[in-house]
């Protein structure tokens, strides 16, 4: 009898342990359920971000993402867009915290308090629509709710940061981006002088022109020193997008510009006009565009404080150009 009793207890323990494992398995599986199982980021053509204070819309035009403006559009930052879409693709129903509609305001996952994200395809079919709410306890994760469901989940990882950006933060910060090896000439022009780096037969020459001193000299440059400058000047990104004003207020009106940088390849010429200095930033503008950018004073000074000797070989590497 004692043996049979012990056997019964053992069987019960095994059943309980198995049940616990099964429940744990399905619980963990539920925590791994994607909120949008069929979401395909490749078919997304628009992203609408609606907060209680403003709305931002990203539109895919001819396979390129743009930020919709009051008038026209502006190229979007591809990395930010791809990051946002990736977050949607991997968004999970993790910890269920409520199914009560009346509690949605508490978690800030409704129209008046939350950040609503709506992603559609080219035919305006909604691919994903959801609300991102406030941070969870201890600022770990944030609350999320599908627009067609009352279920509110607490997700680990602050997903909201991928979507909660200003209009300017969604914009592409690139002023220009040129392949370094394609650059043939760089000219830095100031009020009374000009410094030119010129590539001739795979060798770089540095030429100085000074109108005041009536000076015009050309010398062989050090490849390594030129390469450092090309690394910096081949890809420029704006520090910010300043508020819209008249060109004269930026110091960029025709006739005001005395300092500018010109970069040439075999097929293209880029010119960057340098305007006024304000709050440790220079206003700058490409000659072929209307957009006003800013660059830090340290970046501009690094270009304009260069003189010919900064690019000349030192005695130890004077033969480098011939290697």
Given this model, what pLDDT does residue 193 score? 87
Rounded to 5 degrees, what are φ and ψ at 122? -65, -20
Given this model, what pLDDT does residue 24 score? 42
Instruction: List the pLDDT tens digit at each of the 323 positions of the chain.
Output: 454 555 454 545 444 444 444 334 344 444 458 999 999 999 999 999 999 999 999 999 999 999 999 989 999 999 999 999 999 999 999 999 999 999 999 999 999 999 999 999 999 999 999 999 999 987 788 999 999 999 999 998 889 999 999 999 999 999 999 999 999 999 999 988 899 999 998 899 999 887 654 556 789 999 999 999 999 999 999 999 999 899 999 999 988 999 999 999 999 999 999 999 999 999 999 999 999 999 999 999 999 988 889 999 987 654 555 44
């Amino acid at each position: 009898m004692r043996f049979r009793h012990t056997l019964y207890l053992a069987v019960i323990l095994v059943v309980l342990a198995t049940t616990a494992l099964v429940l744990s398995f399905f619980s963990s599986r539920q925590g791994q359920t994607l909120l949008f199982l069929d979401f395909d980021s490749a078919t997304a053509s628009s992203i609408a971000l609606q907060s209680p204070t403003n709305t931002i819309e990203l539109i895919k035009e001819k396979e390129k993402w743009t930020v919709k403006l009051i008038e026209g559009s502006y190229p979007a930052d591809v990395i930010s867009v791809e990051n946002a879409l990736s977050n949607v693709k991997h968004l999970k129903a993790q910890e269920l915290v409520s199914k009560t509609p009346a509690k949605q305001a508490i978690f800030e996952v409704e129209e008046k308090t939350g950040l609503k994200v709506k992603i559609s395809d080219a035919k305006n079919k909604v691919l994903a629509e959801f609300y991102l709410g406030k941070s969870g306890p201890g600022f770990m994760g944030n609350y999320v709710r599908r627009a067609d469901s009352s279920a509110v989940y607490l997700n680990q990882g602050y997903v909201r940061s991928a979507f909660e950006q200003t209009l300017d933060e969604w914009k592409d910060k690139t002023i220009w981006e040129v392949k370094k090896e394609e650059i043939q000439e760089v000219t830095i022009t100031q009020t009374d002088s000009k410094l030119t780096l010129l590539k001739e037969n795979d060798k770089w020459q540095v030429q100085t022109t000074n109108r005041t001193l009536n000076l015009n000299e050309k010398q062989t440059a050090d490849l390594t020193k030129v390469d450092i400058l090309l690394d910096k000047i081949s890809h420029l990104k704006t520090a910010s997008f300043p508020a819209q004003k008249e060109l004269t207020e930026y110091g960029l009106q025709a006739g005001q510009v005395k300092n500018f940088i010109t970069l040439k390849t075999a097929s293209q010429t880029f010119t960057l006009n340098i305007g006024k200095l304000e709050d440790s930033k220079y206003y700058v503008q490409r000659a072929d565009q209307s957009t006003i950018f800013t660059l830090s004073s340290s970046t501009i000074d690094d270009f304009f404080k260069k003189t010919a000797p900064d690019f000349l070989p030192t005695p130890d590497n004077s033969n480098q150009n011939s290697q």
